[in-house]
Amino acid sequence: MATAATAIGGAGTAAAQDDYEVIEAEGQTITIDAGETWENKLIDMTTGQDIIVTAHSSDWTIRNVGFKGENTSGTGTATFGISDTSGGTCTVENVYLGDGSSTGNGNPNGHGQTAFWVAPDHNGHIDFENVNIQNFADNAIYGSAPGTKGGGTIHIDSSFAANCYVSHFRLATEGSKVTNSSVYVDGSHGYVGRGIWGWAPGTIEVEDCQIEMNGQNTAIDAGANGNPTEIAVTNTDYDDGAGIAEHAGSNVQLGDGVGTDPEAFIPQGVPTSPEEAASGSQK
């Protein structure tokens, strides 16, 4: 149900009434069609219900979207289920999912709430930019599935993920990369997933990133399900207390400018409140 923007004011940058639409989560699914831009939405999660946004077409854009309140629905689904299925380029930018999901938000197979799920059929390219994901019970950006089928690529740039479980940035296909981004884990919410997780076939590129894990889990993890991959890391600091893991013959290549003194930060342009994201006011 849509209401006036003024009905859900509060923390964050104030926005004019017409800057964004407020949508109350009530178990609905919103579908984004090919070529469509879905923007300037504030999703009210304080209803205790879930909302799912799906985009399995091509050349779509998700922009200026903020989620207000923790997802306590208990559905254990993905907030966003996305892919480009026609070899095009899609964009996710300026999205706030920083209020997270509850610890009880799981389904019978043990999976918790995922922020972004990229479907196996993805065969195009998705750009993530200025995305803030925190405290999710399952992966922040779960982008490894195309490695088993579609082979599409993903670029995560200038984004921030913190205190999520399983992993924060999870990729698989050659040409996929994480740049100018930070991962932060301090265990304060009980979610201590991997920093960056590379699946087969790779190679996954990591450049100009800060991976601060405070000794929790693994900073950079390569390989899964008995299949090897490669991760190429440059100009990045990672927590050597959490360290690097290489499975099934995987290789993490540490290139120029790699250090072990990370200082995670929220990159410039990343929204820090739902209202800021929905209005696009941080740009």
Decide: 8 and 2 in contact? Cβ < 8 Å. no
Q: What is the pLDDT of residues 103-116, one digit of tens each?
A: 654 443 446 899 99
145 close to 122: Cβ distance less than 8 angstroms: yes
Bridge partners of 277?
none
The candidate with the shortest Cα–Cα distance to 136, out of 161, 117, 155, is 161
Q: Identify the H or E element spanning 30.
A: strand 28-31
3-state secondary structure of 120: coil
pLDDT at 179: 99
Q: Give the pair of three-digit tokens for residue 228.
A: 């090897």
**Tokens linked to 209:** 């990133």
CA distance 61 to 272: 21
Are 73 and 105 in contact, with CB atoms under 8 Å apart? yes
Low-confidence stretches of the chain (pLDDT beneath 70)? 1-18, 103-111, 283
Instruction: Write down all domains in the chain, each with its CATH number in brackets.
Output: 15-279 (2.160.20)
CA distance 182 to 170: 14
Q: What is the pLDDT of residues 58-77, one digit of tens each?
A: 999 999 999 999 999 988 89
- DSSP H or E run through 267: none
Cα separation of 48 and 61, whole Å?
A: 27
Q: At 86, which amino acid appears?
A: S
* Three-state secondary structure readout of 54-101: EEEECCCEEEEEEEECCECCCCCCEEEEEEECCCCEEEEEEEEECCCE
Give the global pTM: 0.92
Q: What is the pLDDT of residue 104?
A: 56
Task: Identify the burial level of 30 via C-beta atoms within 10 angstroms of its C-beta, where 0-12 means exposed, 13-18 middle and 19 or more buried.
Answer: middle
